[in-house]
Structure 1
């Protein structure tokens, strides 16, 4: 591999140029950002391009089932205190999208990269990260994602012996098991609201004991490690026991947890918690998530929830009843085509809210709400749901492609 002072090889430069040209053509044709197709073309021309682009950067990788995009954004803001950052801020998180993002950051010091869970081991191998943040693992896209323990095993094997500092959530047993193969781990007590994927020990299969916030396996002794960073209410506790206030424009406990992990990552690069947390306040919305938009003279808050753990966190931050709620679920390729996960979501938490159901799989969702004894109306589209909703701000919760549909409709 070229030394630090060497520019990219002619082949790598050609790959970058070709990738950018294809991406620009894709954008001009109205087919999205073009980052994925551009990255694919670039990697075809130079299969080692990702590693070459990463070699002059201090790289942070962020992986999880939920919260990757937001945490990547928070870390990027924090590290800008120490130098220019390149990041795949729009969430194209497989190798082609990551390559595209890094190709646009030749002057940067840091690369802050969100990585799809299935690709983490390979991207870590290619980019030699200084730090890897592991937030959580839960069921997602049941038709094609590996079962959660298999993903954890993939992480564990892929990260074994890694030189990176691994910043990991000590409240998620699957994450702890995955991170435990790494020689240098910083444990963060970030919490775990959704526990239904971690009742059996990932190490031996025994039953997990969960007294209070603690957890351990009664059979093999695998247990929660002692954290050096912790989320405590509205504060982050650092390794010295100092409490730093979290001021975010993003709502909910999950985002405070993301901020705690982000502060621990920033500290690896010498950015103090106070500076890191102050910079995180700049983040108002992440790729449209949490945005409040005007539509048909109404305020709509757009919330993304892709799987049972994400829906549970989202229910905890919506305004209380009788705030109207619109739910939209699709089951296209990017969502996963299996909607059986709807039965894992506790929809009784919506009791008292007028509910309006839209999306490709609105009838699947309607059956689920019927069983949960919820009052709801099935609507043809967003326009009809908004017209029928009682006064006040409307909370709109959607899974992945349904969320993209919504953003297009409201012009966000």
Structure 2
């Protein structure tokens, strides 16, 4: 049980103290939460600190291209029914940020940790998780993450023989291939709206057949496993066939899928689906995502979409036309500097919406919208875009650093 013994050596305690001091100084200087710089300092002083902090916790790791921050939050809420939780709720998901988060949870029983896809294998090695949730893999940050199959291979090798229970989305062939090296997998039918990264078999390279919701490779026989948990409309079906209603304040089908995976994870720790799903209702917004804010006497809903799969899901949950839409795209380091992914997004889904374009790469986006025959206006900034919007709630969709810029501007 966590908290009964102190696993930290004097060196580790020094590292934690130094990390917290640096983080506090960073916050005081107005440079953000300080969690990453604090974690970096702590790991420099004790390279084994992450493993030491995790050793008294029941750890859950959550990794995916889309939905990991939200799913981490949903799982954390569900597990609070069984004991105190420490989590990197603000999405600092590389080893430094994770270390910083765990250092703040001395009385916790559970550690619910979002992990960047590229770091999953290493963090799993350090933290000996009891459970790992794998949601999806799709193209993202093309200039730094290489291609999706390489990430899947990295997961597959890193998780081979893992003692963790792996909760994996059986509708994503890349996730299935990655998880199949693990001896203990719970399959969840969570759906997959974006399929353009999974037309070739990850196992043999053959062409994937996709009749209905099923999929299989006609050449090597690699196929969709039978799920024991499933998202069915507004319900989660558990392994006994019972249907549990999903009541969320978060919008969209993607968040119901996140809730289904979260319920399966909670069950691994003995939290029943009804209790888990009821607790998930508490989550209203996740690090500003889905928040409705007042700005210039208008209601703005802030939506994050970082890659083609995310944009596709986001388009499915915005208000119907003629709701005005503001789009903002940057291409800074944290976004990935390659904007060619814009050509993979189906912007014809915005037909009928008045569109206003802002952000560092507004001209790249304007060219893409022009080709998609959309009516739009390019604006200098958020203030100007909001002033030009016709009546109605404004849907604001932005990629990662553009989203942070927007939150600062609206004071969120």
Q: Place the TM-score, normalised by the shorter chain, in its bin.
A: over 0.9
Q: Is the 8 A contact 1:290 1:301 kept in 2?
A: yes
The secondary structure found in structure 2 opposite 1:40 is helix
Q: Is the 8 A contact 2:84 2:109 kept in 1?
A: yes
The secondary structure found in structure 2 opposite 1:62 is strand
Q: Is the 8 A contact 1:4 1:55 kept in 2?
A: no
Q: Is the 8 A contact 1:60 1:112 kept in 2?
A: yes
How far off its partner does 1:5 sit? 3.0
How far off its partner does 1:7 sit? 3.4
Aligned residue pairs: how many?
412
The secondary structure found in structure 2 opposite 1:132 is strand
Q: Is the 8 A contact 1:56 1:109 kept in 2?
A: yes
Match of 2:144 in 1: 144
How far off its partner does 1:340 sit? 0.3
The secondary structure found in structure 2 opposite 1:397 is strand
1:3 and 1:236 map into 2 onto residues whose CA distance is: 34
Give deviations 1:291-333, integer Å, cap 9, x for gaps.
0000000000000000000000000000000000000000000
Distance change in 2, residues 1:81/1:2 (3 Å): closer
The secondary structure found in structure 1 opposite 2:377 is strand
Distance change in 2, residues 1:296/1:6 (3 Å): closer
Structure 2, gaps ≥5 residues long: none
Q: Is the 8 A contact 1:250 1:283 kept in 2?
A: yes
1:392 and 1:348 map into 2 onto residues whose CA distance is: 21
Give deviations 1:12-70, integer Å, cap 9, x for gaps.
00000000000000000000000000000000000000000000000000000000000
Distance change in 2, residues 1:234/1:30 (3 Å): same
How far off its partner does 1:146 sit? 2.1
TM-score (normalised: structure 1): 0.99
How far off its partner does 1:112 sit? 0.1
2:346 and 2:407 map into 1 onto residues whose CA distance is: 26
Computed over aligned residues only, the root mean square deviation of the Cα atoms, in angstroms, reads 1.3
How far off its partner does 1:370 sit? 0.2
2:201 and 2:7 map into 1 onto residues whose CA distance is: 48
Q: Which runs of 4+ in 1 moved over 2 A?
A: 1-7
Match of 2:134 in 1: 134
Structure 1, gaps ≥5 residues long: none
Give deviations 1:326-361, integer Å, cap 9, x for gaps.
000000000000000000000000000000000000
Give deviations 1:357-391, integer Å, cap 9, x for gaps.
00000000000000000000000000000000000
How far off its partner does 1:3 sit? 12
Q: How does 1:336-375 map to 2 (within 5 A)?
A: 336-375=336-375
How far off its partner does 1:186 sit? 0.2
Give deviations 1:83-109, integer Å, cap 9, x for gaps.
000000000000000000000001000
Q: Is the 8 A contact 2:3 2:108 kept in 1?
A: no
